Each structure stands twice: as C-alpha cells, then as structure tokens.
Structure 1
C-alpha cells in the first residue's frame, strides 16, 4: 500500500519553528557552551541575551559557576584585541567577578583603558591581577603603547586602591604593562602595593623566614614581583628555590617555583 504524503500549502505552519538561537532547547545550548573556553561561554551568553533575551536559569547554565580564574589568553588573540571596556565590564558583572574571580589575566586585551574593571572594586578575594596584556611566555613589543595607564585621573589606580584598602584583601601578585615601569606615579603604586604585601606578614613556605628579607623589596627595578611563584602564588625566599626559577634576570619572563611549570624560553 502506497504511503500518502501530506501536501503542505504555503499557509501551513511548520511543525517546529525556531526563529532564533534562544528558541533552541536548553540541552543543545548547554552542550555548545561546555566545549567552549570560559571567556567564550560568557560572551556567548551575553550575545544571545542582547539579541533575543535569555532566562536567568539558561544564562547560568551557559556561563557556569567555576570562575576562580578569568584568563583572556584562552580566546583568540584577535578576539581579545577588539574587546572594549564595555565588554569587560559586562563579563565581570555577568560572572559576579567581585565574589568569584581570584585570578584575572587581561591577555591581549589591548583595546581597553581599564574602565571596565570597575566591577572588581573592593574585591576581597582577588589574589592575582595581570595587567601586562601579554601571554605568560611572551615578550613585550618595544613599540607597544597600551591604552590602559596608571595616571591618577584614569581608571585603574582607583580600582587598585579600593582593593588595597579592602579589609581582608587577598591580593598576592600584580603584573604591570612594561610602559608603566618608569615614572613617579608607578613608583607610588609599587610602594603602596609593597606595603600591602609586607602588612600581610608573608613568610617563606619552606623555611618560614619573613619576606621580604631586611633591606630588600618585593618589587624589582623592572616592576616584577619577587619571592612569589606566578602560577601557584606561593612565596619562597631565595635560599629555598633554585635561582633560575622564581628569580629570573630577564624582566620579560615569569618565575615559577620548583613545583610548578618551568618558564619557557
């Protein structure tokens, strides 16, 4: 017996109508998000929400809740380079960064002034802020002049000051753009940050000696932080780690402790 086919007219509505990505069932969107790196997940949620609207439940499912680290080095360099302060602000707000993010790395975010970092103001849990805008093992370009600055009238210093002054401040590592390494304003910033670390009462994890040693400082002449592993953020004195680990002569390279990934030359 032949099977009859249903003839559809132009006026017959389709059985399943999906006019936008937000009309998809939750499961496919969650699966798509699960294979994306974390910055891309929140960018996806923001894009869908801006175009079609997104329920809070689905937004949370796409974005996820594991936000100890926000590293823009996980996304394509070209994408990070076009992100604006508005994008950064929206991302930090969406993930509740002030209460979640412990490590922030603005790798390749060369189009920002720092205004978008406002949602991190007064964070008591942030432990590491990398403002260098370059990857972990990359050199600064000699002609690189980022928009982000440490001038008092700009955005970054008030945000950092609000973190420094927060009761229970957890900040343990700061990395700066190379163009900040000279100038009175940068020296004042380093002085305040060094005082913060000293007030933490930090000691070497292995031998328990107080850091920094007498007549020494936390920051070297190139603005690099000493006695601190860039990866695990644990503190070691010079005697308790090999000289080619935490203590590096090249100001463009990072120092790691014996237990973490060694620097790549």
Structure 2
C-alpha cells in the first residue's frame, strides 16, 4: 500500500546517522505490516535495513538474531548439534502464516515490536531466555528481558525513539529440549494459542511459555516437570492476572480450553521423558 502521507525516507548507514526522533516517525524494517494498511499519521520512515546488520551470529555464548533478520534467514542458521531447542524455530516461523514473499521481508524485530498477541517471535524469545538489546536515541543502550518486552497488544517496553537492535539467546537455553504446540481456527489461520515448553535435562527445570491465547506472552518456570494439576493451577493463575485474549481468531473460552489442553500435552511428553 502506498503511504502517501510520508514525506521522507531516511536510510542511515551507521548509527550516528539516525535522525533525532520526532512526531510522525516510524522505523522501517521489513515493512510487511507497515505497508499493509493506511498509516496517515506517519511523515518520515527510518529504514533500519540500510544499516546492513548481519542477520545472525552463532557464538560460543549463544545465538544472536539481528532485529532485521528475516524469517527466511532463520532457515540458514547452522547451529551446533546439541542446541536442541533450535527445533522450535522452524514451526515458530511457520506460525506467521504467509507466502515465501512475506517470509523474505518480515523481520524478527518487526514481529516483536508490533506486539500482536499471536507474534511467534515473541513466544520464541521468551521461551529461550532471550534478551533484547535496545538502542536509545541519546546513544545509550539497554537490555530488556524478552519475557518483559511486550506489555500487551501493540504495546512494548520501548520508549519513544528507541530501536530494537538484536535478541541474544544464551547457550544454556539453546541446549534444552523443546516442544511447540499451536492451535488456530483454520489450518492457515492466525495462532489462537501457541505454547513452547522447554526442559533442562541436567537440572530437570521445566518452563512453559504461553502466547496468542493471552494479551502478552506468559512464562512459567518450575524446578521440575510439575504434576498436571499443579501446572493447570499455575497457568490459570498467571492467565487470570492478564485475562484471556479474544478476537475474530478465537473466543477467550476456546483459547483457554486449547491452552490447557496443549499445555498438558507438553507436560505429559516431558514428564514421561523425565
């Protein structure tokens, strides 16, 4: 869609060329959402892709995903064989249902910053202990835990003019076993419930991340795989604090039912292994 109110597009090659933030500005990454509907309030776009950040880096400390890493580029990551949690990246990417053209443009950072309840990259980042590195307009930097990055639908912990630079995943989280479950009203529909469970086989620690069914991702941590009733009570209590999300992609009661069902599937699978 043409954004005919936009008067200028800034393409910085280095951080020093980022312009002072002003009303009517927006960061442009892949643009798959930005150009999908009218944005009459926008006057200037700051194209982060022009900074040419490497899409990802595999290091001894873990995985770094640039905010401008596209969903298609996630497929190109060659990770160590013992990074077992990498198995959930492909289904997370597929959860953002779209054509290969969308996956070639849509970015990890854009999916996080848009902060839709169904954002699969938000679920992935919270489930694998991601830390979001943020650039402030004054040249400073700060780190926000991924589980605290999204505050609610279309609301993040970013302040005005701040840009998400990258997400860092520690190697300890990447070595966990991981399982993903997803439900939607139709085979190609938006996620109505998306759950990721992880198990540290060394310590026995279990974690469950719930997204899409709630306004923001919820992460529950346990010292070991809990009993079915304990998990259900913990999940119901956490969801009560934020409420069950509802829209045309699924009613709150149905999302709650599917979340509890899928959570038990994950728990039972890891419980049997433990």
Higher relative contact order (CA 8 A, sep 6+): 2
Answer whether TM exceeds 0.5 for this pair: no
TM-score normalised by L of structure 1: 0.29
Point out the structure with the larger strand share: 2
TM-score normalised by L of structure 2: 0.29
